[in-house]
Amino acid sequence: MYRFMVVDDEVYIADGLCDYLQKNMPYNIDVIKAYSGIEALEHISKTRIDIVIIDINMPGMDGFSLSNNIALHWPACKFIFLTGYEKFDYAYRAMKYKHAYFLLKSEGYGALQKVIDTIIQEIDRENNETIHIPNDNLPEDTKEAITSFLDGQESDSDLSNHSFSNIIKPTPYLCVVAMLDNCELFTFSQKKKT
């Protein structure tokens, strides 16, 4: 699932974008809406965001400041900066961001869809690179448990009940860190016997 956040102080634009995303995306998505930078910050502290469609010109906190705050929480987050103004300095500032695109609001949904498709491909490629684990020596049941969990077919409690003793090597410590949405915290550790 891909999680979108739409941030625009113009209610009809934010509502319209959310409506478009929910009805027209060929992907499994969740859409969060915020009408200000402050409201958006409340959401990012609670949930992972993959793609933010963000108005540049907003009262209080502009889109660039907000994107900097979001990137602190979610460094892999991608941004689509929107503006109604054809100012080159906005485009120039947007180009400085690693995971950012710039669109004029007048370009319409077709241009937005193309950018979203490009971003989804980037996310999928990055995820495939990230979750590649050298597993030549892993037992088959361990591979299946991890793969099922990553594919969303197995819950975190199912995974925590699986025995990972067959992959824990006699090293001082093993630490497994994962970013999981809406699940209970679980840990695996083994100290070296002295």
pLDDT for position 172: 47
Indicate if 125 and 139 belong to the same structural domain.
Answer: no
Indicate if 148 and 106 belong to the same structural domain.
Answer: no
Residue holding tokens 């003793």?
165
Q: What is the CATH number of the domain that holds 28?
A: 3.40.50.2300
pLDDT tens string 56-82: 888 999 888 899 899 888 888 999 988
Return per-residue pLDDT of the chain as tens, 194 residues: 899 999 999 999 999 999 999 999 888 899 999 999 999 999 888 888 999 999 988 899 988 889 989 988 888 899 998 887 666 565 555 566 666 888 888 888 999 999 999 999 999 888 877 655 555 566 677 777 777 767 666 665 666 666 555 555 444 445 566 666 555 444 444 444 44
pTM: 0.65
Domain boundary among 106, 130, 154: 130
Indicate if 87 and 170 belong to the same structural domain.
Answer: no
CB 172 within 8 A of CB 191: yes
Domain boundary among 100, 130, 160: 130
pLDDT for position 187: 47
Q: Name the 3-class secondary structure at 124.
A: helix
Domain boundary among 93, 114, 130: 130
Indicate if 83 and 118 belong to the same structural domain.
Answer: yes
- Reported in sequence order, the residue ranges of the chain that DSSP labels E, i.e. its strands, are 2-7, 29-34, 51-55, 78-83, 100-104
Indicate if 19 and 110 belong to the same structural domain.
Answer: yes
11-24 and 108-130 helices, crossing angle to 10°: 60
Indicate if 88 and 147 belong to the same structural domain.
Answer: no
Indicate if 84 and 9 belong to the same structural domain.
Answer: yes
pLDDT for position 36: 94
Indicate if 29 and 74 belong to the same structural domain.
Answer: yes
Indicate if 54 and 97 belong to the same structural domain.
Answer: yes
pLDDT for position 161: 65
pLDDT for position 137: 60
Find the domain containing 140 and state its range: 134-194
Indicate if 79 and 164 belong to the same structural domain.
Answer: no
Report the domain count for the chain: 2
**The 2-7 sheet, strands edge to edge:** 29-34, 2-7, 51-55, 78-83, 100-104
37-44 and 63-73 helices, crossing angle to 10°: 10
